[in-house]
Amino acid sequence: SAVISQKPSRDICQRGTSLTIQCQVDSQVTMMFWYRQQPGQSLTLIATANQGSEATYESGFVIDKFPISRPNLTFSTLTVSNMSPEDSSIYLCSVTGWRGNNEQFFGPGTRLTVL
């Protein structure tokens, strides 16, 4: 299966600051996604990271709050901007199209706590 790493694995941040999360895949993939999992909740798709163009955001999520980059086919970043305690969640990167496989693989997640 795809080997996906996320950095940092966890962080504790102050209100009003920003955090950038990195997602690295061991091989080129077709699609990369970012999800949020709030405490005790299911996964909610934030956006699809598009290589070489602006990300596609789901309803309720905006670029100013969650800017996303995808400079190549194996790497993406998600920034959580101007954080508040409500942003405390696990943020997961996922990919599809890894070596032609249409399964969606997930990274280990980044656990964010905002004080």
Question: What are residue 86's phi and psi, to 5 degrees?
Answer: -65, -15
CB of 32 to another protein, least distance (A): 11
CB of 82 to another protein, least distance (A): 26
Of the candidates 36, 13, 21, 105, the one whose C-alpha atom is nearest the C-alpha of residue 69 is 21
Q: Which of 25, 55, 83, 92 binds another protein (CB under 8 A)?
A: 92
76 lies in the binding site for another protein (CB under 8 A): no
107 lies in the binding site for another protein (CB under 8 A): yes
Binding mask 15-34 for another protein (x = CB under 8 A): ---------------xx-x-
74 lies in the binding site for another protein (CB under 8 A): no
CB of 103 to another protein, least distance (A): 6
- Tell me which residues touch another protein (CB under 8 A): 30-31, 33, 41-45, 48, 58, 92, 94, 96-97, 102-109
